[in-house]
């Protein structure tokens, strides 16, 4: 039931040279499903655009596993997509909800091995509105170390009811409460923490809730996440409003096609919005 780890999951698609000629300020890791080419295209044109923040070097990578049913059919599609964009990381584990933790760990493995000098790693789900320019300018310069931020959850407890989608047995996690952790839709790690988490993850039993697992890794490292300022990481959907959206980092529950529609208006937000 639980993803085996430490692993040798093999890379089926890798981008080992992305950081050979430059050290990016930020590596953006985006969780998508293998068949979601349309979503990735929308993200490439909107919040995932590597050239979006002038003067800030960004590397964007999509994290995918192997489709549980249509792996064969998708192979040529992914082959073509990766030749075109060079932004797909895929390992040979099944792309399922309970394997989400493995996707994040794949991303952190890539950063540790191929881009260890990046100042930050941002992990984002596909169904978000993300404002990287605001994140970078307001919160990330000058670069920090031993730092993780996002929407903070504290004193949450494991669900011990076997029927629950988020059931966690005692053997996997014995304590009554989880350490503080940042909500999965979007969180930020300093580059050093990304590497430390990748290291310590290999000594802990992996859990299916990837955001909780990141918190457990941080706790094992003796670190705590920093709460993002109020209203900056929005776990509930907000109606689009360009000035408001220019002063926040993330809004959950925005599908890529919807972001594509509002993006021109967001880009056109007037200077009076004080971005």
Ligand X SMILES: *[C@@H]1O[C@H](CO)[C@@H](O)[C@H](O)[C@H]1NC(C)=O
Q: Which residues of 14-51 are buried (b: 16+ CB within 10 A; e: fewer)?
A: bbeebbeeeebbbbbbbbbbbbbbebbbbbbebbbebe
Residue 216 lies near ligand X (rule: CB under 6 A)? yes
Segment contacting ligand X by CB under 6 A, of 10-18, 88-96, 142-150, 231-239:
88-96
d(CA 211, CA 198): 14
Between 152 and 216, whose beta carbon lies closer to ligand X? 216
Among 230, 223, 258, 269, smallest CA distance to 38 is for 258
* Binding region for ligand X (CB under 6 A) out of 30-38, 47-55, 129-137, 195-203: 47-55
Least CB distance to ligand X at residue 123 (A): 19
Among 27, 28, 31, 52, binds ligand X (CB under 6 A): 52
Secondary element (H or E) of residue 63: strand 58-66
CB 13 within 8 A of CB 82: yes
Report how far residue 30's alpha carbon sits from residue 263's, in angstroms, rounded to the nearest whole number: 18
DSSP-based three-state secondary structure for 141 = coil
Given a contact cutoff of 8 angstroms between Cβ atoms, the answer to whether 269 and 155 are in contact is: no
Binds ligand X by CB under 6 A, chosen from 37, 98, 246, 255: 98
Question: Residue 139, Cβ neighbours under 10 Å: how many?
Answer: 17
What is the dihedral sign for C-alpha 238, 243, 246, 248? negative
Q: Is 67 in the site for ligand X (CB under 6 A)?
A: no
Q: Which C-beta is closer to ligand X: that of 204 or that of 235? A: 204
Residue 275 makes contact with ligand X by CB under 6 A:
no
**From the list 13, 23, 138, 260, which residue makes contact with ligand X (rule: CB under 6 A)?**
23
Q: Rounded to the nearest whole angstrom, what is the least distance from the CB of residue 231 to ligand X in the complex?
A: 26
- In angstroms, give the least distance from the CB of 16 to ligand X: 10
Residue 94 is a binding residue for ligand X (CB under 6 A):
yes
Per-residue contact string for residues 222-251; x = within reach of ligand X by CB under 6 A? ------------------------------
Residues that bind ligand X (CB under 6 A): 3, 19, 23, 44-45, 49, 51-52, 93-94, 96, 98-99, 116-117, 175, 179, 216, 219
């Amino acid at each position: 039931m639980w993803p085996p780890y430490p692993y040798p999951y093999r890379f089926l698609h890798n981008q080992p040279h992305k950081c050979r000629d430059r050290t990016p300020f930020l590596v953006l890791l985006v969780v998508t499903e293998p068949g979601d080419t349309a979503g990735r295209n929308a993200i490439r044109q909107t919040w995932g655009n590597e050239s979006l923040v002038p003067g800030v070097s960004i590397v964007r990578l999509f994290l995918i596993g192997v489709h549980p049913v249509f792996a064969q059919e998708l192979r040529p599609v992914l082959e073509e997509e990766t030749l075109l964009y060079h932004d797909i990381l895929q390992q040979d584990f099944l792309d399922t909800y309970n394997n989400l933790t493995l996707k994040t760990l794949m991303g952190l493995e890539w950063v540790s091995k191929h881009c260890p000098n990046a100042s930050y790693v941002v992990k984002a789900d596909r169904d978000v509105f993300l404002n990287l320019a605001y994140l970078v300018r307001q919160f990330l310069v000058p670069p920090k170390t031993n730092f993780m931020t996002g929407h903070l959850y504290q004193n949450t407890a494991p669900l011990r009811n076997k029927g629950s989608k988020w059931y966690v047995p005692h053997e996997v996690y014995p304590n009554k409460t989880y350490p503080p952790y940042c909500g999965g839709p979007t969180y930020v790690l300093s580059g050093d923490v990304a590497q430390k988490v990748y290291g310590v993850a290999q000594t802990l039993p992996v859990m299916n809730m990837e955001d909780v697992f990141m918190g457990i890794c941080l706790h094992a490292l003796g670190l705590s996440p920093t709460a993002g300022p109020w209203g900056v990481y929005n776990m509930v959907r907000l109606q689009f409003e360009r000035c408001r959206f220019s002063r926040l980092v993330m809004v959950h529950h925005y599908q890529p096609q919807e972001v594509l529609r509002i993006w021109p208006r967001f880009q056109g937000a007037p200077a009076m919005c004080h971005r």
